[in-house]
Amino acid sequence: MKQWPENITSKPIAYIENKDTYTLQAETLISMLTRLRGKQKQSIIFLDINNNESRATANEIKTEATFIAQYLKRQGLEKNDKVIIMLPTSFDFVRSFFGVLMAGGVPVPIAPPFGSKGIENYLNNLEHIVADCEARFLITFDQIKMFVNDSIKISKLLQEILFINEMTKKTVPADEFQVLPEIKAEDLALIQYTSGTTGKPKGVMLTHRNLLHNIHGIGVAARVTENDIGLSWLPLYHDMGLIGSLLGSLYWDFILIAMVPEAFLLNPSLWLENMTKYQVTISPAPNFAYNYCVSRIPDNKLTNIDLSNWRLAFNAAEPIDSKTLQRFIEKFSSCGLKNDTVFFPGYGMAENSLAATFVPISRETTIVQYFKRDGIESRNVAVAATNTAEDNAVSLVSVGYPLVGQAVQIVDEKGKIRCEGEIGEILVKSPSLFIGYYRNQEETENAFVDGWLRTGDLGFIHGRMLFVNGRRKEMIIKQGRNIYPYDMERIAASVEGIRKGCVAAFGVQNYMSGTEDLILLCETPLSDSTTKEELVRKVRAAIWENLRIVPDDVNLIPKGAIPKTSSGKIQRSLCRKMYIDLNKELRAEI
Amino acid sequence: MEAIAKNRIEEDIYKIILQLSVSKKIKFDYELKFIEDLGFSSLKIMEMVSVVAELYGFEPILEEIMVLNTIGDLIQYLEQALPLVESEIFLEGRKAV
């Protein structure tokens, strides 16, 4: 069995392209569903919070989506109108998503609120998205009626808030059906909201062709077949959950078990027990989830788990830690987990639909390679360490090579292509690339250079494989979400009592949780401990209000304590080191 | 489910929060909010509830968890959800019998 696609080309320059030929199996997401319609097999098995099953065939999805489409048409929905979908993982989400598409609308999925916690800030963010994408309708569920109905501003921006249970009760009679618009490959199919450098989320516009190209590429790389069985607890408003899992399973026509994320978070063993029950072969999760299983699943539950069918554990959305993978394998090897080849690390971003690269599926081991630390950290060059035990070697997990039709190159700060082994910014070019940020020409122009997407990530190519080893913008990735330090620093500095321009935000890898902790160092002239406690609360509240994320740790430090360059720039890496050193002592005392 | 001493809950909750929190300098207070004051994300709140549920052997109900905003809310929720005895001393005495 070949390890590489035949047409991977590689040059001494840092450029890799996958030129394998491919043919998409559908032109649009609608035709993808229609293609499956004649088949009566179960397409999706939904599991609710109590792990109760409900099943849906592609036929049922199409039929129910038609009713939603007709309902929306009756309400006046026109081609390209944006419809926000705020629903949990459920059949309701799926029929609404396809219903909006069939009616010619553009779905904009967003997370439902997390109970009543920070509801005001949630609504502020929602208001921004509703206004930014010029949404005409919002589809949601009864339980949050009181939250959205209370928001007069949101109600004013929308034509109507639609409740899914009412929509399904008031279906349009078949004799009143309107002609649904023709949907083309280049039509908008999705707007994904992602965090931006200005603090306000930006709408990533993706067409049917973008999405299908990406889904096709992932399936080819993963050698997906109809015989696979997928399981995902990733939320459907998240690209890995929606594109990678839901749409991927329908495109490749394999059964998907869709768990609600809360079920996994409350009881992580349920993920693996369901994999056992349904003999799952493919299941994705970000790095932190593997760590979570190691720390939260007690050994006495291992006897209920059989992972021998699991052939692909997609691992993306946040930096992949080889130690996490090793711990997971050690813990679950007695449950039939094959070996580390089950892990399928990848690299991607919302602007490229989802994925840009994945590791080769047939290989002897996870692609962990060791590099000399001084080269990586000081000289911007990746030099392979002669042996794995070499002192100070840095271990990195490769994210593989581009998916079909995609290319990756590494450039220096001036945009000049680098050579293999040299570290620089990763650029991606592919038919999966978004068509721009909605109503944001400036950010769209900044995102591209000569048709290549500037990812802002640092990496290098070694042995025809891509390695990611940092982020140019010092972006922090927490549980799959991108956060820009500048945003947090600006907001923290706006709080009275914090010195302007004297805040440092950075991420610190937490090996216990498998994700990054968000840390803030803020200079203050205040010394009274009660006032300082109040100040920490205010900083947290301000960041929560603006970014809907809270720093894990806010440290107030005296004037002049933040290291800066001679030109006055904050030295975040030094701040990080300072924090880690201080924290080691503190943790040692506990 | 075994009866739990009321004063044990507070102690256990503080320990769990300290274990999950990045900052180890927490001045505990019933009014502390999980998100704004402790810096917990929604995922971390779920993890905390999961640890608590495993410790006391009960199955949390999602709708009830979603409205817990402060340490005080969580303690009050547990006091209602769990079979309680007044104090650890009483519990030890009962065990001795």
Three-state SS annotation for A412-448: CCCCCECECCECEEEEEECCCCCCEECCCHHHHHHHE
Please tell me what DSSP assigns to residue A199. Answer: S
Going by pLDDT thresholds of 50, 70 and 90, the confidence category of residue B66 is confident
Q: Find which of A52, A262, A528 to mutate to test the B interface (most B CBs within 10 Å of its CB).
A: A262
The domain segmentation of chain A, as residue ranges, is 476-589
- A146 has pLDDT over 80: no
Q: Which residue has the higher pLDDT, A464 or A233?
A: A233
What CATH topology corresponds to A476-589? GMP Synthetase; Chain A, domain 3 (3.30.300)
Q: Which residue has the higher pLDDT, A570 or A587?
A: A570
Flag whether B8 is in a domain: yes
Work out the average pLDDT over B18-43. 82
Q: Could you report the per-residue pLDDT of A451-460, keeping only the tens digit for each?
A: 999 998 889 9
Q: Could you report the per-residue pLDDT of A176-193, keeping only the tens digit for each?
A: 999 999 999 999 999 999
Q: Are B75 and B10 in contact (CB under 8 A)?
A: yes
Q: Could you report the per-residue pLDDT of A291-316, keeping only the tens digit for each?
A: 899 989 999 999 999 999 999 998 87
Report CA-CA distances (Å) from B5 to A282, B52, B88, B94.
44, 15, 5, 11
Q: Could you report the per-residue pLDDT of A37-58, keeping only the tens digit for each?
A: 666 677 899 999 999 999 999 9
Flag whether B86 is in a domain: yes
- A24 has pLDDT over 90: yes
Q: How many CB atoms lie within 10 A of CB B90?
A: 14
Q: Which of A573, A561, A575, A546 has the alpha carbon at shortest distance from A125?
A: A546
Tell me the nearest-neighbour CA distance from A577 into chain B, angstroms: 16
Q: Find which of A49, A114, A117 to mutate to test the B interface (most B CBs within 10 Å of its CB).
A: A117
Q: Could you report the per-residue pLDDT of A54-79, keeping only the tens digit for each?
A: 999 999 999 999 999 999 999 999 99
Report the residue from A479, A517, A519 with minimal CB separation from B43: A479
Q: Are A369 and A386 in contact (CB under 8 A)?
A: no
Cβ-defined contact of B39 to A552 (cutoff 8 Å): yes
Q: Are A484 and A542 in contact (CB under 8 A)?
A: no
Flag whether B25 is in a domain: no
Residues of A in contact with B60 (CB under 8 A): 266
- A149 has pLDDT over 90: no
Report the chain B residue with the minimal C-alpha distance to residue A266: B50
**pLDDT value of residue A208:** 98
Range of the domain at B65: 4-20+30-96
Q: Could you report the per-residue pLDDT of A501-549, keeping only the tens digit for each?
A: 889 998 887 777 767 788 999 999 888 877 888 898 889 888 887 777 7
Question: What is residue A260's three-state secondary structure?
Answer: coil
% of chain A with per-residue pLDDT over 70? 89
**CATH code of the domain in which B76 resides:** 1.10.1200.10
**pLDDT value of residue B91:** 44
What are the residues facing A437 on neighbouring strands?
Answer: A204
Q: Is B69 on the interface with A (CB under 8 A)?
A: yes
Flag whether B12 is in a domain: yes
Q: What angle in degrees, to the nearest 10, is found between the helix axes of A208-222 and A29-37?
A: 60
What residues 6-25 of chain B have any CB closer than 8 A to a CB of chain A? Answer: 18, 21-25
- A576 has pLDDT over 70: yes
Q: Are A130 and A138 in contact (CB under 8 A)?
A: yes
Q: Is B27 on the interface with A (CB under 8 A)?
A: yes
Flag whether B49 is in a domain: yes
**pLDDT value of residue A259:** 97
**pLDDT value of residue A370:** 86
Going by pLDDT thresholds of 50, 70 and 90, the confidence category of residue A366 is low
Going by pLDDT thresholds of 50, 70 and 90, the confidence category of residue B2 is low
- A2 has pLDDT over 60: no
Backbone phi and psi for residue A351, each to the nearest 5 degrees, phi listed first: -70, -15
Instruction: Please give the ipTM for the structure prediction.
Output: 0.75
Report CA-CA distances (Å) from A584 to A192, A328, A391, B59.
39, 25, 22, 36
Q: What is the C-alpha end-to-end distance of chain A, expressed in Å?
A: 53
